[in-house]
Structure 1
Amino acid sequence: MTRLFLALLLGAAALPALAIDESDLLPIEEAFALSASAPSADRVEFRWAIADGYYLYRHRTRVQAEDGFAIVGEPALPDGVRHVDEFFGEVETYRGTLVATVAGTPAAGARSARFRVSYQGCADIGICYPPHTETVEVALPAAPAAAVDGRAALDAVFGRAAGGPLAGLDGDAADLPMAPERAFRFEAIAGGADTLLLRFTPAPGYYLYRDRAAFRLIDAEGLALGAPAWPEGSAHRDEYFGDVVVYFDEVEVALPLAREIGPARTVRLEATFQGCQTDGICYPPMTRTVEVALPAADSASVAGAADGGPVRETPPPARAAMPWWAALLFALGGGLILNLMPCVLPVLSLKAISLAQSGQGRGAARARALWYTAGVLVAFAALGAVALALREAGMALGWGFQLQQPLVVAALAYVMFALGLSLSGVFSVGTRLAGVGDALTRRTGPAGDFFTGVLAVVVASPCTAPFMGAALTFAFAAPPALAMLVFLALGLGLALPFLLIAFVPALAAHLPRPGPWMETLKQVMAFPLYATAAWLAWVLTSQRGADATAWLLAGALLLAFGLWLAERLRHRERPVLRTAALLIALAAAWPLWRVHGLPAPERGLAQPTRADGAIPYSASALEALRRDGRTVFVNMTADWCMTCKANERRVLDTAAFRAALARAGAVYMVGDWTNVDPEITAFLEAHGAVGVPLYVVLHPEHGDRVLPTVLTQSQVEAALAGGAP
């Protein structure tokens, strides 16, 4: 019956796709006809002619220079039309025409440039193309003589060469452009083990763009740069870039540096920036490389704190920053701690009943523990493989991604509700669907223990325990084979307590003896399962509104009635039983499909604050606050994240937290990842996280600070005050 139930669900999910004729689709090159041109030597435009009935995703549009051109910054894209997408959540799309502009510097003497352009789009008939990449060759016009980088070239143009009419005159005296090295001085020193201090000095009559700067480290393994902390600049209306922020005077910028504990070393920093002469020429982007001597880094100056320790700077180092063996140890410890998280409680109650009933001898107990472990490992491996494959395909997702799908949430609510009915005695054995629940509570062999392990992983996956976040971050960046080892280590940690009880006689001796009390325990343990089903219904309301909850309750009512009826008919003629079981599956599957088809409710994007005074997260709002020099406490959460809700109840929803915000003059910003949200996913990735919860304090003077997964009030207050222990 279980197989039939799942087959009906999958078949229903496939019906819309089967109704679509893919032969109606245009080839991708015709649906999204791409052309490119260079209006000037430092600007290239890419134009898509989008056929009627087709649209492009903004966040899936990328341009990379392959030869003959160095891009500075990100491609300039117009605002798209907001669209709630089944796969990517809330996105922006383009129809008709899209023009993307990139700015940069042509290679010396280059007459053409080659670019790698990636994009993805869909047809209105319900089919999306896979990500597509084209290589585009663009002819470049000659650069204006006054914009050529280099002192000798400028001197030649303006007559400063020996014997020329302006020989011996300073650029200011002649009111002509200076050489770039004189117009814009750049220096960098170490501001400590984890900070670089940058200084830009525009000459009088020149200004520097804030948002045309980029920085990278050259051959610096184990190091990573954070976001530069620019001071407040001057608003300026620019004929090239519109409304921008510029600096007319010397400016100092703190650049956070994430690194491992280690000795002193010298690093090479490459800075690319752009500026202009007031009422004169604008220089092309210029690149300077400097060497910086870093002092030794000890445990007090780099990331790391566990509970009660100092918070760590972000973003974290590159993937090589953590050795593979450390990632496996972190995964094992995180899986072990996962047993203490509230999301795992319902399944642990099932396992507690199993242990209480295990008066079968040591061999049988070991077999049951091994089958449970096998279920946990298989489920972790499958979940990890799906997550890695979808991320590789370009999906914006992270750990716990499956609960961002309403169909999964509704189906899991059914499972928890049905298991609760089984423990309450509404049904037992008789149909295959009933047998699954009964196998979890009776001594019926390996199938029930294996399924309990699978269910433990499904329910536990939204939680992120201490140590687990670092291990998952490593796994999502590691090669597939090593990533799978990390997922298996997580599973081994989750199953470890039951393995120890089964294989260590001293621990097993402390278990209570079987007796009549077990029936009462079994019935009591049904209520955590009912509570989990109710919580999942609340999550579904957040994802798809009250109509989804109504469909879920109707389906649960039909499921309960059908299971009860199947139990009543269990000893009668088999055809009646089979017909009743089939009707149960059909009746329960239809509400699930209705839930899947409901649109996401509007999230009130125009509302400036939430009921608790927090500002809803958006990348543009956060950037505006940072430009204003504000301290921001960012809370990335989700309704299905039990760890998030526990932290909010104990720390973030308290008067003490609000008082700490007020003392620091900080803004509280909350990102809701209950549904798929590419902007939030990008923030998580930028701070080395693959799921929620994530807590980051962005301080204008002390950089970004990431707090531990399990919060304490003292950690929050220390981070808001600037990171003091």
Structure 2
Amino acid sequence: MIARLASALAALALALPLPARAVDPSDLLPIEQAFALRAEAVAPDRIALTWAIAEGYYLYRHRTEVRDGQGFAPGALELPPGIAYHDEFFGDVETYRGELRAVLTGTPVPGASQATLRVRYQGCADIGVCYPPHTQTITVALAPAPAGAEDGLAALNRALGVGAPLTGTAPDGSSVDLPLPPEQAFRFEAIAASPSALLLRFTPAPGYYLYRDRLAFRVIEGDGVALGEPRWPAAQAHHDDHFGDVSVYFAETEVPLPLGRSRGEAQALLLEATFQGCQTDGVCYPPMTRQVRVDLPAGAVATLPDAPARAPAGATTLALALLLALGGGLILNLMPCVLPVLSLKALSLADGGHGNGHAGRRALWYTAGVLASFVAVGLSVLGLRAAGESLGWGFQLQQPLVVAVLAYVMLAIGLSLSGVFSLGLGLSGMGQTLTEKKGPAGDFFTGVLAVVVASPCTAPFMGTALAFAFAAPPLLALLVFLALGLGLALPFLLIGFVPALARRLPQPGAWMETFKQALAFPMYLTAAWLAWVLAKQRGADAIGLLLAGAVLLALALWWLERLRFRRRPLARALALATLALALLPLWGVQRLPATPGTATQAADDAVPYSAERLAALRRDNRLVFVNMTADWCVTCKVNERRVLGGDAFRNALAAADGVYMKGDWTNVDPDITAFIESHGAVGVPLYVVYPRNGGEPRVLPTVLSDGIVQAALEAAK
């Protein structure tokens, strides 16, 4: 029993940091003795719940609820008024001492003789220690229904417009699932994630689903509070007989909801949610309305975070977005992700000569590859977002299959540069085309590859431009992607069409063969880095599969090169079979389960991100520095090594008495995606500083310096 209590106190220490007190766990009663609960059915549709509260203990009114039940569909829990009390953690609340008697209304399930309820409550002891929220399961005998009374299932079917009550047996004798009462089929909850955001949670019962596009919210009671646009997580495509092709949620779903506030004081918000759902292959419920009260902590006056993004892109706004995109693409050339590919492009231009517009044609083909790739990325993002997916810049590197294929490509290019093969076949053709001295296909592919390897990097100005693109109409969004690509290709366009710059390139010569072979090693390093990313996503088994496939790939390319001038059909077929066999490990990599994120487990005392934990820290008026990162994000890793991993950051955070929180976006994570979108960002890195005492959060630039971080922490004290 003492061990259980110690575990509870440890969990509480993480959830609600308390001032240091000398408390002996043996002084506390077990929670089920401190708050002894009993239940009694006083009517077929009413169950009395009574807590006998020990002396020196108290229960919170707003933390007492019935979560669900079996044999009895719970409705409202009628609680008496409590004792007004200003709590250190929850603000102005009501509490109970001595005894609490509540009445639970609901609908008994036909044929059930007893009900099993899951009751949740939280309380504290006067010595200064609070128990964590506790859920207790309790069984109670149901009161018999009066003769001739309509049972709950018949009432439900009548309310839903179902002609005949479902009896559990179809006309052909097969069994059918009886529809649950609405309160049991669809649960709705809401908490304050921050002073300017709510976190809504919908929980359909197994076999039930909610329509995404039939969810709506409004404020019933709230002084100066306005609702923003919900940050919908990815929904599942579904076809039903009621509305056709729709997007639905089958499992528990959390929806961040931004708030605008014209007043900053703490207050109680009454939120109304309207939603509609169905039973799979069963009845469709009419629209349901639920109300929930949320205690909003004090915070600064806040405008809705998505208001600027909603403004139509007028001429000035569009021009600014295009200018930022052009600048971001230009700076992207200096990022470490792109440099190996740009070195190859510089080599090809130096080898191409300067006469007859040859360099200009090569630059145009390279630009065409860059622009086509950015348009493809833009169409993918916009299309998937329209289908309900939540994606950001670099989303493709969250897929282990994409990472493994890129590792293959980089290895193949490196082998080609090293002279292992030059036969234009399969993957080898990529390396051959990329390094061949003539031909537009190689220049076009170099542009494609530059965009692919640029994904792990985020340059200054890119975030604002991409945020505009993700919120703008499709045609304007594609213009932004094209401007980003034009910025990336601009240096080579200038070299191709400005003779003075072209003449500064070194003249072709024997040195180029040595330089070409030396460029193989950055490609090998890039393949090694991609293997490391894959290890973070899928573990050591993925690396084993990747290495085995890489050996088969190298063998096949070497073998094909050996057979280049020989007429040996059988050997060539075996070499091609080996090349095909090298692709099998990719299928195995994709099937491996995701490994837990490691970006939040670094030796920097970071707290793993969760919306609930962030909300708790905000309620405690703590300064919080949030770092949203990913193992494949090169910009993230550079910032963490140069700034966030240094003594200057740790000292500044300690001086500000702040909390360092990390979120790992290496794999797909809807919660982190929702956080990123709620701050108007399009990917990682994302750095947000939440000031002490509930002020408005501040988003920092994507490229950090010690001065930027220290100034932000100082201002947030």
Q: TM-score, normalised by structure 1?
A: 0.61
Aligned partner of 1:502 in structure 2 is 496
Matched, 1:526 2:520: yes
Aligned partner of 1:584 in structure 2 is 578
Question: In 2, distance between residues paired with 1:618 and 1:75?
Answer: 14
Question: In 2, distance between residues paired with 1:521 and 1:600?
Answer: 40
- Report the AA paired with residue 476 of structure 1: F
Question: In 1, distance between residues paired with 2:585 and 2:302?
Answer: 51
What is the CA-CA distance between 1:414 and the residue it aligns to? 0.2
- Report the AA paired with residue 95 of structure 1: P
**Aligned partner of residue 508 in structure 2, secondary structure:** coil
What is the CA-CA distance between 1:368 and the residue it aligns to? 0.7
Question: In 2, distance between residues paired with 1:553 and 1:396?
Answer: 32
Matched, 1:707 2:700: yes
Change (3 A) 1:130 1:469: farther
Matched, 1:77 2:68: no
Aligned partner of 1:297 in structure 2 is none
Aligned partner of 2:670 in structure 1 is 678
Aligned match for 1:620, one of 606, 612, 615: 612
Matched, 1:256 2:302: yes
Question: In 1, distance between residues paired with 2:312 and 2:655?
Answer: 35
Question: In 2, distance between residues paired with 1:630 and 1:118?
Answer: 28
Contact 1:657 1:713 in 2 (8 A): yes
Contact 1:62 1:75 in 2 (8 A): no
**Aligned partner of residue 703 in structure 1, secondary structure:** coil
Extract unaligned runs of 5+ from structure 2: 1-72, 78-104, 108-155, 161-167, 169-175, 178-185, 189-196, 222-229, 239-243, 250-259, 273-290
Alignment RMSD, CA only? 4.0
Contact 1:316 1:687 in 2 (8 A): no
Question: In 2, distance between residues paired with 1:335 and 1:573?
Answer: 48
Question: In 2, distance between residues paired with 1:569 and 1:62?
Answer: 66
Aligned match for 2:321, one of 321, 327, 340: 327
Q: How does 1:689-700 map to 2 (within 5 A)?
A: 689-700=681-692
Aligned partner of 2:645 in structure 1 is 653
Matched, 1:597 2:591: yes
What is the CA-CA distance between 1:357 and the residue it aligns to? 1.0
Contact 1:430 1:570 in 2 (8 A): no
Change (3 A) 1:73 1:364: closer
What is the CA-CA distance between 1:76 and the residue it aligns to? 5.0
Change (3 A) 1:96 1:552: same
Q: How does 1:381-460 map to 2 (within 5 A)?
A: 381-460=375-454
Q: Percent of pairs identical after alignment?
A: 59
What is the CA-CA distance between 1:337 and the residue it aligns to? 0.5
Aligned partner of 1:298 in structure 2 is none
Question: In 2, distance between residues paired with 1:104 and 1:257?
Answer: 17
- Report the AA paired with residue 464 of structure 1: T
- Report the AA paired with residue 320 of structure 1: A
1:329-367 CA distances to partner (integer Å, 9 max, x unpaired)?
111110000000111112112112112212252411111
What is the CA-CA distance between 1:102 and the residue it aligns to? 9.4
Change (3 A) 1:337 1:38: same
Aligned partner of 1:719 in structure 2 is 712
Change (3 A) 1:326 1:511: same
Change (3 A) 1:345 1:704: same
Question: In 1, distance between residues paired with 2:686 and 2:219?
Answer: 38
1:666-692 CA distances to partner (integer Å, 9 max, x unpaired)?
100111111001111111111111111
Matched, 1:364 2:358: yes
What is the CA-CA distance between 1:519 and the residue it aligns to? 0.8
Change (3 A) 1:549 1:610: same
Contact 2:557 2:579 in 1 (8 A): no
Aligned match for 1:343, one of 337, 343, 349: 337
- Report the AA paired with residue 692 of structure 2: P
1:599-618 CA distances to partner (integer Å, 9 max, x unpaired)?
1124599x9x6532101111
- Report the AA paired with residue 666 of structure 2: T
What is the CA-CA distance between 1:462 and the residue it aligns to? 2.4
What is the CA-CA distance between 1:118 and the residue it aligns to? 11
Q: TM-score, normalised by structure 2?
A: 0.62
Question: In 2, distance between residues paired with 1:509 and 1:387?
Answer: 40
Aligned match for 1:559, one of 542, 553, 556: 553
Change (3 A) 1:619 1:131: farther
**Aligned partner of residue 366 in structure 2, secondary structure:** helix
What is the CA-CA distance between 1:253 and the residue it aligns to? 4.1
Q: How does 1:22-33 map to 2 (within 5 A)?
A: none
Question: In 2, distance between residues paired with 1:602 and 1:119?
Answer: 21
Aligned match for 1:643, one of 635, 641, 657: 635
Question: In 1, distance between residues paired with 2:396 and 2:520?
Answer: 25
Q: Which runs of 4+ in 1 moved over 3 A?
A: 36-40, 43-49, 72-78, 96-107, 116-123, 129-134, 194-200, 211-214, 244-247, 602-605
What is the CA-CA distance between 1:256 and the residue it aligns to? 3.0
- Report the AA paired with residue 132 of structure 1: S
Aligned partner of 1:144 in structure 2 is none
Aligned partner of 1:143 in structure 2 is none
Question: In 1, distance between residues paired with 2:329 and 2:568?
Answer: 44
Change (3 A) 1:546 1:481: same
Q: How does 1:116-155 map to 2 (within 5 A)?
A: 120=235, 131-132=246-247
Change (3 A) 1:631 1:74: closer
Question: In 2, distance between residues paired with 1:484 and 1:38?
Answer: 50
Aligned match for 1:634, one of 626, 632, 644: 626
What is the CA-CA distance between 1:434 and the residue it aligns to? 2.3
1:436-471 CA distances to partner (integer Å, 9 max, x unpaired)?
212212213001110110011011022111011101
Question: In 1, distance between residues paired with 2:299 and 2:434?
Answer: 60
What is the CA-CA distance between 1:585 and the residue it aligns to? 2.9
Question: In 1, distance between residues paired with 2:355 and 2:401?
Answer: 41
**Aligned partner of residue 583 in structure 1, secondary structure:** helix
Contact 2:271 2:292 in 1 (8 A): no
Matched, 1:318 2:309: yes
Change (3 A) 1:44 1:423: farther
Aligned partner of 1:89 in structure 2 is none
Contact 2:463 2:681 in 1 (8 A): yes
**Aligned partner of residue 702 in structure 2, secondary structure:** coil
Aligned partner of 1:95 in structure 2 is 206
Question: In 2, distance between residues paired with 1:580 and 1:103?
Answer: 63
Change (3 A) 1:534 1:76: closer
Contact 2:209 2:248 in 1 (8 A): no
- Report the AA paired with residue 463 of structure 1: C
1:84-107 CA distances to partner (integer Å, 9 max, x unpaired)?
xxxxxxxxx852568999997899
What is the CA-CA distance between 1:317 and the residue it aligns to? 2.5
Q: How does 1:209-288 map to 2 (within 5 A)?
A: 209=268, 212=270, 245=295, 253-257=299-303
Question: In 2, distance between residues paired with 1:561 and 1:722?
Answer: 59
Change (3 A) 1:449 1:405: same
Contact 2:538 2:594 in 1 (8 A): yes
Contact 2:325 2:487 in 1 (8 A): yes
Question: In 2, distance between residues paired with 1:102 and 1:505?
Answer: 61
Question: In 1, distance between residues paired with 2:673 and 2:323?
Answer: 26
Change (3 A) 1:130 1:651: farther
Change (3 A) 1:604 1:588: closer
- Report the AA paired with residue 655 of structure 1: D
